[in-house]
């Protein structure tokens, strides 16, 4: 996948995840500093864990501060646009999260393959990139992370990463492989949101 296009998608995903952080912060009635913190960890948390795991230093947002500016501008615009007495529909936050998730999984897989050749590790890094920020966000918001619920969330990331690595092994271009990942993750997540799809739960009965 061409670097300029990947960079653009990365910034787009950063903005989308920042929006989801702002919306959650607004629902919890946080102050502006809390909004920025929640938006930031959501947008760059997963990528930070990925880069540290891969030894990609300095971490991407330290090397390129454009990510920080994107987060700050997104926070400001979102806080100005989404205000009372407007009510935010229940589906806005999960849909924003799904879009960011799909983009970040593909980016995580792509960047992992630049640093190492294992498809399995690439899939794991894709999951970390997509889910890491959301986990930190939910923990700070004192909520059970979506990845730990019975919702189809991490499973969508794994399937998307598998599509991407498989497409590359079958000779598809990096752009086509990336697109297959994004579309599959997004379709699965949106279907799970729309029809409340979930995985079977594990329970030990007394």
pTM above 0.85, yes or no: yes
pLDDT at 86 over 90: no
The whole-number pLDDT of residue 85 equals 47
Task: Select the more confidently predicted residue: 110 or 88.
Answer: 110
Asked if residue 182 lies in contact with residue 174, where contact means CB atoms within 8 angstroms, the answer is no
> DSSP assignment, residue 146?
G
Local confidence band at 34 (pLDDT 50, 70, 90 cut-offs): very high
The whole-number pLDDT of residue 190 equals 95
In the chain, domain spans: 3-195
134-193 pLDDT, tens digit each: 999 999 999 888 788 768 999 999 999 999 999 999 999 999 999 999 999 999 999 999
The whole-number pLDDT of residue 150 equals 67
48-73 pLDDT, tens digit each: 999 999 999 899 999 999 999 999 99
Range 73-82 contact pairs with CB under 8 angstroms and sequence separation of 24 or more: 74/14, 74/15, 74/18, 74/19, 74/22, 74/39, 74/43, 75/18, 75/22, 75/32, 75/35, 75/36, 75/39, 78/18, 78/19, 78/22, 78/23, 79/22, 79/26, 79/32, 79/35, 82/22, 82/23, 82/26
Task: Select the more confidently predicted residue: 20 or 164.
Answer: 164
Local confidence band at 105 (pLDDT 50, 70, 90 cut-offs): very high
Peptide bond connecting 174 to the previous residue in cis, omega within 30 degrees of 0: no
Q: Over the range 99-131, which residues count as b (16 or more CB within 10 Å of their CB) and which as e?
A: bbbbbbbbbbbbbbbeeeeebebbbbbbbbbbb
- Averaged confidence pLDDT in the chain: 91
**Distance between CA atoms of 81 and 44, rounded to whole angstroms?**
23
């Amino acid at each position: 996948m061409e670097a300029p296009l990947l960079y653009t998608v990365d910034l787009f995903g950063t903005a989308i995840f920042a929006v989801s952080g702002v919306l959650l912060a607004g629902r919890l009635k946080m102050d502006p500093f809390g909004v920025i913190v929640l938006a930031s960890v959501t947008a760059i948390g997963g990528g930070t864990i990925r880069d540290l795991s891969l030894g990609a230093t300095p971490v991407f947002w330290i090397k390129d501060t454009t990510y920080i500016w994107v987060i700050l501008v997104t926070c400001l615009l979102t806080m100005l646009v989404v205000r009372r007495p407007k009510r935010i529909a229940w589906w806005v936050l999960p849909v924003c999260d799904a879009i960011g998730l799909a983009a970040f999984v593909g980016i995580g897989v792509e960047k992992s393959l630049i640093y190492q050749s294992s498809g399995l590790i690439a899939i794991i890094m894709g999951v970390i990139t997509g889910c890491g920020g959301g986990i930190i966000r939910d923990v700070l918001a004192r909520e059970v992370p979506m990845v730990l619920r019975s919702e189809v969330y991490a499973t969508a990331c794994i399937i998307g990463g598998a599509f991407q690595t498989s497409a590359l092994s079958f000779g598809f271009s990096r752009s086509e492989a990336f697109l297959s990942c994004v579309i599959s993750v997004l379709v699965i997540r949106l279907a799970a949101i729309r029809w409340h799809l979930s995985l079977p739960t594990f329970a030990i009965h007394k």
